Amino acid sequence: MIKLGQHFLKSKRVVDEIIATANIESSDTILEIGPGKGILTEALLEQGCKVIAVEKDFELVKFLREKFKNNKNLNLIHDDILKIENWNLIENCKLKIKNFKLVANIPYYITGAILKKFLSAKKQPSLMVLMVQKEVAERIIAKDKRESILSISVKAYGRPKIIKKVPAGCFSPPPKVDSVILKIDNISKDFFVGHPMSHRIEEEKFFEMIKKGFSQKRKMLKNNLDISPDILEKYGINAKARAQELSLEDWKKIYNHLN
């Protein structure tokens, strides 16, 4: 049952923390990815909300169908979440949803893909509360004050925050690393479209610039982007700065200059 890299959460205390972090209300619609054996699913359903749970492992789907066969608030989908488009997912469930929250203990090997898919989606979740690998979460929030493509990509869409460390022993089987509950709120595309038309940022072009800036981490940014050091200093950026030293706002200034 763990062939897809799933480590099943077994701590009710941690589940309660996830529920509290997500501020679940009965009027909410929750998307859960990789429900596993349903410990989080059960806690979500106890709040009276609607839950769309997407599970790739058919053996687990059969288990969950039996476990929750009498609960009409659960829509269980046997599919690969990375192959489902958000709009199709919601339409298939025949639910009229204005917004939804993404709450899940996701398989760690698809963390990056999940973040990219849902943060950049046409219909974004209003909130994300995810169990992720501790080191990945620390990169996302740039705990060491060194930004990355991942941290900038997340911060362009929302506000990430580590809520609580979760030891490996809270899972079965225990992973080789500790985990954390990661909350991403204030999710929107305001960074890209919340400007006058003349200053709107094209997502694809912005991230192409970011990737170019990080392409050779040991090189100074001015060399990676082929930009004059005078331009950097004009915007209050050290002429010898490297990509990991720039904030999201710094990148916006450079983008606006280049475009």
DSSP 70: T
What average pLDDT does this structure show over 222-246? 94
| Least trusted range by pLDDT, from 21-30, 142-151, 154-163, 186-195 | 186-195
CA nearest to 11, candidates 105, 98, 92? 105
pLDDT for residue 179: 96
pLDDT for residue 181: 98
Which pLDDT band holds residue 185 (cuts at 50, 70, 90)? very high
What average pLDDT does this structure show over 113-125? 93
Which pLDDT band holds residue 122 (cuts at 50, 70, 90)? confident
Q: Which CATH number does 8-188 carry?
A: 3.40.50.150
Give the β-pairing of 159-166 and 101-105: unpaired
| Least trusted range by pLDDT, from 37-41, 178-182, 255-259 | 255-259
pLDDT for residue 135: 96
CATH class of 192-258: mainly alpha
Domain map of the chain by residue range?
8-188, 192-258
pLDDT for residue 1: 39
Which pLDDT band holds residue 183 (cuts at 50, 70, 90)? very high
**In the chain, where does DSSP find H-type helix?**
12-22, 39-46, 58-67, 86-92, 111-119, 134-140, 149-155, 190-193, 203-213, 221-224, 229-234, 248-258
Residue bearing the bigger pLDDT, 95 or 138:
138
Which residue type sits at 183? K
Query: DSSP secondary structure string, 77-136?
Result: EES-GGGS-HHHHHHHTT---S--EEEEE--GGGHHHHHHHHHSSSS--SEEEEEEEHHH
pLDDT for residue 197: 58
Which pLDDT band holds residue 195 (cuts at 50, 70, 90)? low
pLDDT tens, position by position, 44-87: 999 999 999 999 999 999 999 999 999 999 999 999 999 887 65
pLDDT for residue 87: 59
Strand partners, 8: 172
Which residue type sits at 160? P
For the chain, the average pLDDT equals: 91
pLDDT for residue 170: 95
What average pLDDT does this structure show over 212-222? 91
Looking up tokens 């608030």 gives 73
